[in-house]
Structure 1
Amino acid sequence: MEYEATRSRVEHYFDRTATKVWDQLTSDAPVSRIRQSVRRGRDAMRARMLERLPADLTGARVLDAGCGTGLMATELAARGARVTAVDISPSLIDIAQRRLPDTLKARVQFQVGDMLSKDLGQFDHVMAMDSLIYYREDDIHAALDGLAKRTRGSIVFTVPPRTPLLMAMWHSGKLFPRSDRSPVMVPHGTQRLSRRLRQTGRVEDIGRVSVGFYISHALEVRP
């Protein structure tokens, strides 16, 4: 299956090739100007996604799908949510566990594995920031359709938008240094994707964040 093949490339990239890059990118460590723009963009997008959820998440069960180094999981737990933070990379999970404040540890369950696994159970909300960016439309639709069957509230996720600037950067290979360019993200026409996802639930366009070399678009699906 295309999803499984892409997932394997993503696992190899984050767990063997880019762990140090993402450790630095999601910290306060000095980084290049390009990565500074990516860091600022990701911070802005994470804030935009969190605006879609209640300020008080006490008692809510939230899936952080593709949690990476745990920035989203930390924010969710600070609002009182019971967070299941899943990532395919054991190395990134290790970083996330080390960074999580002791006061929040009881609220976050980290797990290495497939963010789409049915074994994770039911959720009130799902957050999938930049974790579907390497997948094609059919795979995204199938992923969200499966998650919708186990989600009572909202699914908030991001995709790379098909814009002239992003496509130019994508083709030129300047989003990251050459050693960090695998796997390749897949830009999407967000209006087309929204129409497709209406088969799954009500879709709302949350908007785009464009900061230097970070360009991402957020959508929300409510089953």
Structure 2
Amino acid sequence: MADYSATRDRVEHYFDRSATKVWERLTSDAPVSRIRETVRQGRDRMRAIMLSRLPADLRGARVLDAGCGTGLMTAELAARGADVVAVDISPQLIGIAEARLADGLRQRVTFAAGDMTDPAHGRFDYVLAMDSLIYYATPDITAALAKIGNRTDQSIVFTVAPKTPFLMAFFGVGKLFPRADRSPVMVPQAYAALARAVPNLARIDRVTSGFYISECLEMRS
């Protein structure tokens, strides 16, 4: 997974060194620009959609929040009673997530900075991966899902950037600027191609909110 590793390193560099403050503000109640507000609203809606795929009562369940960011999903899973392993490639974002987590939920959450596919994280009932696979090519996504899926008993709910004309144009423009310090570019995915490679895959919903366009998919075990 050489391409996966290279992309993962770029994502880590971006979120841990370039965009930490942006994401800390975006995922808070602080005022943001109108464009970023649409992104915030889109992410809030997508998080609710993904959580709706899991039982309301998660007591006794072990859940991986794969790419937990600043911990919004982690907190909601723990509030439902889950034992959560919250993993993110960015130690800076993990630090924010830990600081924000309510004291009453701390005993339910284990934070880890690193690769979300690492077998050392153990086995899970459910996995949620919100916008943490959107920078990877189709073969890397399918390989990552296979690695995590081998240790998941119920389902993996994840998002991709759908292959729409807008996102394809955005992807094309991004490739024109291969500067080392630019933000990672989303790689739009065709559902048909993913469905051929990923077993038991289903479309759940799509969210379009300004510049935020994301599709929720589910892989059942």
Same structural fold, with TM-score higher than 0.5 when normalized by the shorter chain: yes
**Equivalent in the alignment of 2:150:** 149
**Equivalent in the alignment of 2:211:** 213
| Gapped regions of structure 1 (runs ≥ 5) | none
State how far apart, in whole Å, the 1-side matches of 2:170 and 2:121 are. Answer: 36
Which secondary structure does the structure 2 equivalent of 1:91 belong to? helix
**Equivalent in the alignment of 1:166:** 167
1:132 aligns with 2:133: yes
- Pick which of 180-189 and 9-18 moved more: 180-189
State how far apart, in whole Å, the 2-side matches of 1:141 and 1:203 are. Answer: 11
State how far apart, in whole Å, the 1-side matches of 2:154 and 2:182 are. Answer: 35
**Equivalent in the alignment of 2:31:** 30
Give % identity: 65
State how far apart, in whole Å, the 1-side matches of 2:74 and 2:133 are. Answer: 17
| Gapped regions of structure 2 (runs ≥ 5) | none
Aligned residues: 216
**What does 1:90-109 align with in structure 2 at a 5 Å threshold?**
90-109=91-110
Two-structure CA RMSD over aligned residues (Å):
1.5
**Equivalent in the alignment of 1:41:** 42
**Equivalent in the alignment of 1:204:** 202
State how far apart, in whole Å, the 2-side matches of 1:141 and 1:69 are. Answer: 25
**Equivalent in the alignment of 1:79:** 80
* 1:163 positional shift: 0.4
Residue type of the alignment partner of 1:214: Y
CA contact (8 A) 2:171 2:187 kept: no
State how far apart, in whole Å, the 2-side matches of 1:184 and 1:25 are. Answer: 19
CA offset digits 1:50-71 (Å, max 9, x no partner): 0000000001000000100000
Which secondary structure does the structure 2 equivalent of 1:55 belong to? coil
**Equivalent in the alignment of 2:52:** 51
State how far apart, in whole Å, the 1-side matches of 2:43 and 2:70 are. Answer: 13
State how far apart, in whole Å, the 2-side matches of 1:159 and 1:85 are. Answer: 20
State how far apart, in whole Å, the 1-side matches of 2:62 and 2:190 are. Answer: 31
CA offset digits 1:78-98 (Å, max 9, x no partner): 100000000111100010001
**Equivalent in the alignment of 2:220:** 222
State how far apart, in whole Å, the 1-side matches of 2:74 and 2:182 are. Answer: 26
CA offset digits 1:159-196 (Å, max 9, x no partner): 000101222344456xxxx9x85111100112221222
State how far apart, in whole Å, the 1-side matches of 2:59 and 2:162 are. Answer: 33
